[in-house]
Structure 1
Amino acid sequence: MRHPEPIDGVLRALGSTEPSAEGTRLVCGIRRDRRLELLREVREALPGGEAAEHWALLDEAERYDPVATADVVQYPATGIWAEETLRRLRAPYGPPADLGHLGALAAAAALRAGIGFKATLRAPNGRLVLPTLGLLRPSRPGPLALTEHSWDPGDPAALPLHALPDGHTALDDLDPYRASAAVPAARRLTPKGHKRWDTQWSGALTLLHRYDAARAEETGRLLRSVVPLSGSARPAGGTLPAAQGSVLARAQPPPTLAAALVHEVQHGKLAALAGAFPLHTADRTARYWAPWRADPRPLEGLLRGAYAHLALAGYWQRAALYGARGAWAQHARIRAQVAAVLPVLVGCWELTDGGRVFVDAMAAAERGMDGVAPPGGRYAVARAVVEHDRAAWCEAHPNLAPYTVG
């Protein structure tokens, strides 16, 4: 069954990768609804007692200041806590659920809402993290009695969450749920580390605003936190489906960071969209060639990669038109990669109706780049390189060769 035309219109807007008000609204709405649904599931699964007191405080904060409370509830790290808690509650064996963090969420919401309250919480390892605010380091061991006067950013016992220079995005090196156990998130940064990030972040945003103001604005609306990765992390960036609105990234020079933000924000958009509007019915079998990867990819991985790289191709084309050094080479290389796999996606019989609208919009956006070609035949050279890589991959994966052409 076809989607109503208004939905198809939003899918086309999102499929183009170009920022749009309706696309941003849909992505934010999906994220909000999913988080609220997840928290409802957690609430239904939790026993009463201590948990009931935490929920009551969270409800009171929401009534008094729904905006502040929503920011705590929608904070990316809260999603990782909620999913992990739900898994633990549903598992017959394993570690217990972290109810103490629910109390920290409620206390953070109450503090930000400015309501009077009293709560007694444990401070694991002598530190209590208050999501979106920072952490408290009590001077005495044991449970910590919190009131509306407990948080003072100037108090030596408080360590505020570091705000990046845009004023909205947090550099989160504190929240225990900022990343999954498999991701090597950096430990708490030093003031020098924060300053380095401030400089690189400001430089990256300057480039985004200069080359692609719409993407800069989209990044500001969709990105709530950045989680610094350790210097040895591979790859240098990523997103976690449970922590929508967050990007994991290594500290890197502004041009590289700007491109990484474009790439990862697209991953976040598509992850949200696919959770509410299935774009295909394929399984997780890894059979497709992706020019940016050596290993075979499932259809979902191919689609996610092509979508993020399509946005990058558009970003570098705009940067090249502005005169950025090396941008034409980046554009030609990435566009050639995307153009090589789009026929596979367009011809895929496992796309849903919405998925076909989405992929057709991707293909139209790629064709639209013909209007301004790189100088000196760079695109033709890039296409030849990609075709050479395709042939080599097919030779190495003879059983999968049919999945590299449309």
Structure 2
Amino acid sequence: MTGTSLPAPLSADGPVLRELASTEPSAEGARLLRHARHSKRLLLLRAVLDAAPGPEAADHWALLEEAERHDPTAVHDVLHYPSTGVWAEETLRRLHAPEGDAPPPDLGHLGALAVAAALRAGVSFKTALRPVQGRLALPTLGLLRPPRPGTLALTERSWDPQDPAALPLHALPGGRTVLDDLDPYRAPAGHHATQPARRLTPRGHRRWDTQWSAALTLLDRYDPARAAEAAGLLRSIVPLAGASRSSGATLPAAPGTVLVRVQSPPALAATLVHELQHGKLTALGDLVTLHTADRTPRHWAPWRSDPRPFEGLLHGTYAHLALARYWQRAALYGARGAWAAHARHRAQVAAVLPGLQRSPQLTPAGREFTRAMAEAEAAMDELPPPGDQYATARAALARERRGWADAHPQLAAVTPG
């Protein structure tokens, strides 16, 4: 596999950093972030291979390399599929855990990756894998449900989407994004806030098709550049179960996916805008250090009731900056409630961003990044909401902040703002 080194760090005063800070889609910024994600994923997979005991993992890797020689694009898609990152991070953690402190690593999944890549690349192969609980997950393809338990012999003819033993991933309309309700690594185990839904019924898939298509239509109407960005960045959508505490989330280990509940098209479009910013900022963190703060939750965030660490505050401010701009553009098209949403999100950003800028824990790159964020926020003055909506939103937020300070007196003095 090629490209196993991270790209050079971004310049602390470079134009690409400022473009990314604005939250607006950037062709050069997207290229750099894709490169960073690609290199990080290959380094992670290489670390799994180096730590894996026995020759079996090396055999799986050899099949991946053979497939890459025939079709690099197909293999890239399999290795960079979002769930592959979740599996790789969990496997590496288990491989390095003291004996008895973690379940055994699922090294057979590396074989499933190799088989999926070989099937996608169209190469001839013979291998054998043992399904887990009667199912063999093939990332980017779906699941195989063999009729009998035990080791499964696999060849280039083993995947037929029309075969009753195959459960293909559901392709969402309008692009290459799939609805992943199958892959066992589509979300980390044990996280109740991001509990993935079980396999959906055909009716559930149709509902997602309808809401997804309508959400993309709204995105394309109100903010075509963000619609194109979503199409380029999103490889999978993981539907969340109703018991999940979160309505939307991203996973640092799984760039290219958003975990989200099915919701109305306007809400889904806004969730995609919001969550894509988290993914971008996470990838940016592999290229440049923006701050040196620790993870202590001590800061007020207008969109949360609990104290947040500095990193969480920065992430939230960045995502809400994008939402403020998105709702401003939606309002110009007459979207119902858009001016109020814009005013609320902008007020939230404006309440926090000055304090972020003053933080002594920012690096030079962080100071430039937050400065460019502030410039993007100030540029919204060119198209203010009608009447006193923005002033009303700021007044309401000031009351909420006083209430939070009363509830957290020991933290109020250290909160940026």
Aligned residue for 1:375, secondary structure, equals coil
Give a deviation string over 1:80-122, Cα, whole Å, max 9, x none: 1000110111012221111111110000000000000001111
Aligned to 1:133: 141
Aligned residue for 1:275, secondary structure, equals coil
Aligned to 1:82: 88
CA distance in 2, matches of 1:277, 1:35: 17
Residue type of the alignment partner of 1:262: V
Aligned to 1:51: 57
Aligned residue for 2:167, secondary structure, equals strand
Classify 1:346/1:233 alpha carbon distance in 2 versus 1 (closer, same or farther; 3 Å): same
CA distance in 1, matches of 2:56, 2:43: 21
Q: CA deviation at 1:255?
A: 0.5
Give a deviation string over 1:268-321, Cα, whole Å, max 9, x none: 001111133111000011111111111111110100000000000000000000
Residue type of the alignment partner of 1:343: P
Contact 2:300 2:416 in 1 (8 A): no
Residue type of the alignment partner of 1:255: P
Aligned to 2:21: 15
Which one of 222, 228, 233 corresponds to residue 239 of structure 2? 228
Using the size of structure 2 for normalisation, the TM-score is 0.95
1:113 has 2:115 as partner: no
Aligned to 1:72: 78
Give a deviation string over 1:181-230, Cα, whole Å, max 9, x none: 11311011111111111100001000000000000000111111110000
Residue correspondence of structure 1 range 26-37 to structure 2 within 5 A? 26-37=32-43
1:170 has 2:178 as partner: yes
Contact 1:104 1:129 in 2 (8 A): yes
1:328 has 2:339 as partner: yes
Aligned to 2:288: 277
Aligned to 1:264: 275
CA distance in 2, matches of 1:13, 1:157: 48
Aligned to 1:211: 222
CA distance in 1, matches of 2:10, 2:98: 43
Which one of 346, 354, 359 corresponds to residue 348 of structure 1? 359
Aligned residue for 1:300, secondary structure, equals helix
Q: CA deviation at 1:387?
A: 0.9
Contact 2:61 2:114 in 1 (8 A): yes
Aligned to 1:98: 106
CA distance in 1, matches of 2:287, 2:90: 21
Residue type of the alignment partner of 1:367: A
Which one of 392, 399, 409 corresponds to residue 381 of structure 1? 392
CA distance in 1, matches of 2:10, 2:329: 33
Q: CA deviation at 1:235?
A: 1.4
Which one of 209, 212, 215 corresponds to residue 198 of structure 1? 209
Q: CA deviation at 1:254?
A: 0.5
Q: CA deviation at 1:6?
A: 8.8
CA distance in 1, matches of 2:152, 2:284: 41
Aligned residue for 1:351, secondary structure, equals coil
Contact 1:344 1:403 in 2 (8 A): no
Task: Give the ranges of 4+ consecutive aligned residues of structure 1 lying more than 4 Å apart after TM superposition.
Answer: 3-7
CA distance in 2, matches of 1:91, 1:391: 45
Aligned residue for 1:129, secondary structure, equals strand
Residue type of the alignment partner of 2:355: V
CA distance in 2, matches of 1:202, 1:240: 24
Q: CA deviation at 1:388?
A: 1.0
Residue correspondence of structure 1 range 177-196 to structure 2 within 5 A? 177-181=185-189, 182=191, 183-196=194-207
Q: CA deviation at 1:378?
A: 0.3
Contact 1:266 1:307 in 2 (8 A): yes
Q: CA deviation at 1:166?
A: 2.0
CA distance in 1, matches of 2:245, 2:279: 19
Alignment identity in percent?
A: 68
CA distance in 1, matches of 2:48, 2:11: 35
User: Which structure shows the higher helix fraction?
Assistant: 1
CA distance in 2, matches of 1:175, 1:26: 28
Residue type of the alignment partner of 1:21: A
Q: CA deviation at 1:167?
A: 2.7
Q: CA deviation at 1:330?
A: 0.3
CA distance in 2, matches of 1:118, 1:4: 44
- Judge which range, 297-306 or 47-56, deviates more: 47-56
CA distance in 1, matches of 2:162, 2:327: 43
**Count of residue pairs the alignment pairs up:** 404
Which one of 28, 42, 47 corresponds to residue 48 of structure 2? 42
Aligned residue for 2:413, secondary structure, equals helix
Residue correspondence of structure 1 range 238-249 to structure 2 within 5 A? 238-249=249-260
Classify 1:65/1:91 alpha carbon distance in 2 versus 1 (closer, same or farther; 3 Å): same
